[in-house]
Amino acid sequence: MKIQEADAKSLLLAQGLPVPAWEVVRSAPEARAAAERAFAAGASLVVVKAQVLVGGRGKAGGVKVAADAGAAEAAAKAILALEIKGIPVRKLLVGPAADIAREYYLGAILDRVSRRIVVMASAEGGVEIEEVAKVNPGAIHRLEAHPHLGLLDWQARQLAFAVGLGGPHLRDFVQVAKGLVATMLANDADLVEVNPLAIVRETAADGSPVERLACLDAKITLDDSALFRHPALEALRDLDEEDPVDRQARDEGINFIKLDGSIGCMVNGAGLAMTTMDLVKRAGGEPANFLDIGGGARADKVAAAMRLILADPQVTAILVNIFGGITRGDEVARGLIEARAVQARDVPMVVRIVGTNAEEAAALLEANHFATASSLDDAAAKAVAAAGAAARTGPLTNPAADR
Ligand code: GDP
Ligand code: MN
């Protein structure tokens, strides 16, 4: 689950990291009021930033610096009118603008290959790290945090030196780097990224100029599977930007991941779902999704799963593969019959149900003219053939559901 910059900054702040103040607003007049408060608190410039769950906001015109409240309101108005990478801007972050001397990249990711938290730093901050990785991979320095001890001071110092940070900034950098790993562990994140981590110029209480490090941007991705351990983080889910199909799946308790193929798969159990996808591929087809309806699913859940599959216009055939244990085959069959009666598109379906109440299921399916299969290989082959036939004749509509 991705969270917005402002929420990510709250999580960094909770670990004691240096983050400039901010407010989140939803309109230009609110932005003006927030800017006025920032100026009153001593800011000489304010920054107005689009809050959308994509990177590259700066390049898209979603980050603007303003010198007075009127300019902040105008900037807010302009940014709220934007769509960044297809996402309309609904919220803004407003706060004192930093006076940037230099930008760095610092990120921590869960690296599944090394099974470690990997911390990455680069002196080429501000630009998207994927771009640096392509153009100048040598400019990214990486090291693995210790699985039990976390990121050690000497490791953090090594990274600082690698990006040319030393002297007065060394201590700050060590604190921030260790803080990123701490943020990751505290929240079960799989990515915590600060880009830019900047050297900013400030004025000390006695009026003398000082430089320090500040986290000017923050991106955090939380591990969905660990969210149950952090009920408070669930509130950070941005429903404005969530894919409606993903939301439906979550509400129904269905484990659903959309893929690029044409064969919709409905399976009970994650392992069986993976196997089913493998067999679809072996039969020459491409799965349109991973879908696990879970154990003990009733008819209404089956119908909900069918709606999720059919919401994808690329689906031209459906393969249902159920191994009845706790799940009763006849319940699933009833769900399929119910779903087909109301579905908007008539997509060919191949059903294989074995295990608990398989005979009752077979009788129900036969009475309702469903295509069935005895083995999984047979089912996959039939679904792939049906998808191929559909691709040749074009999509069909279901007259019964055409209202
Ligand atoms: P992104 O483009 O989505 O990654 O958004 P960022 O928050 O990283 O902002 C993009 C760029 O805007 C940064 O690299 C900075 O150069 C600039 N920027 C962001 N915040 C400030 C700020 O407080 N002051 C100034 N002067 N520039 C900023
Ligand atoms: Mn950034």
Angle at 337 between CA 332 and CA 341, to 5 degrees: 145
Taking alpha carbons only, the member of 19, 21, 67 closest to residue 44 is 67
Atom of ligand 1 nearest to the CA of 103: 14
pLDDT of 296: 78
pLDDT of 105: 97
pLDDT per position as a tens digit, 222-263: 998 899 999 999 999 998 888 888 889 988 989 999 999 999
Among 63, 85, 93, 99, say which to mutate for ligand 1: greatest number of ligand atoms within 8 Å of CB. Answer: 63
* 69 and 144 share one domain: no
Residue 159 has pLDDT above 50, yes or no: yes
- CATH at 262: 3.40.50.261
Is 388 close to ligand 1, i.e. is its CB under 6 Å away?
Answer: no
Report which protein residue has its CA nearest ligand 1's atom 9. 58
Name the residue type at position 332: V
Q: Cβ contacts of residue 278 below 8 Å, gap of 6+?
A: none
Residue 104 appears among annotated catalytic residues: no
Report which protein residue has its CA nearest ligand 1's atom 16. 126
Q: Of the given ranges (80-84, 131-135, 395-399), which has the lowest mean pLDDT? A: 395-399
**Which of 183, 212, 242 lies at the terminal end of a domain, its last residue?**
242
- CATH at 77: 3.30.1490.20
* 270 and 396 share one domain: yes
- CA separation for the pair 334, 363 (Å, rounded): 11
Residue 400 has pLDDT above 50, yes or no: no
5, 73, 104, 105: which one is catalytic? 105
pLDDT of 242: 83
Nearest ligand to the CA of 106 is 2
Name the residue type at position 243: D
Q: Which domain holds residue 134?
A: 1-20+99-242
- Expressed in percent and rounded to 5, the helix, strand and coil fractions of the chain are 40, 25, 30
Nearest ligand to the CA of 55 is 1
pLDDT per position as a tens digit, 309-355: 999 999 999 999 999 888 899 999 999 998 888 887 889 999 999 99
**Which of 242, 270, 301 lies at the terminal end of a domain, its last residue?**
242
Is 18 close to ligand 1, i.e. is its CB under 6 Å away?
Answer: no
Half-sphere exposure of 217 (CA within 13 A, CB side): 28
Residue 105 appears among annotated catalytic residues: yes
Report which protein residue has its CA nearest ligand 1's atom 15. 126
Atom of ligand 1 nearest to the CA of 20: 23
* 3 and 65 share one domain: no
* 211 and 234 share one domain: yes
* 396 and 260 share one domain: yes
**Which of 242, 262, 296 lies at the terminal end of a domain, its last residue?**
242
Domain count, the chain: 3
Residue 100 has pLDDT above 90, yes or no: yes
Q: Cβ contacts of residue 207 below 8 Å, gap of 6+?
A: none
* 158 and 68 share one domain: no
pLDDT of 393: 66
* 103 and 79 share one domain: no
Calculate how far, in angstroms, residue 286's C-alpha sits from the geometric centre of ligand 2. 36
Q: State the Rg of the chain over Cα.
A: 26
* 379 and 397 share one domain: yes
* 26 and 64 share one domain: yes
103, 193, 252, 331: which one is catalytic? 193
Is 55 close to ligand 1, i.e. is its CB under 6 Å away?
Answer: yes
Calculate how far, in angstroms, residue 229's C-alpha sits from the geometric centre of ligand 2. 28
- CA separation for the pair 46, 37 (Å, rounded): 10
* 204 and 273 share one domain: no
Q: Of the given ranges (62-71, 326-335, 385-394), which has the lowest mean pLDDT? A: 385-394
Provide the 3-class DSSP secondary structure of residue 182: helix
* 219 and 266 share one domain: no
* DSSP per-residue string spanning 302-331: HHHHHHHHHTSTT--EEEEEEEESSS-HHH
* DSSP per-residue string spanning 184-223: HHHHTEEEEEEEEEEEEEEE-TTS-EEEEEEE---EEEE-
Taking alpha carbons only, the member of 13, 12, 90 closest to residue 49 is 90
- Residue 142 · residue 84 · CB < 8 Å: no
Angle at 89 between CA 87 and CA 91, to 5 degrees: 135
* 124 and 170 share one domain: yes
Residue 286 has pLDDT above 70, yes or no: yes
Residue 106 has pLDDT above 80, yes or no: yes
pLDDT of 394: 55
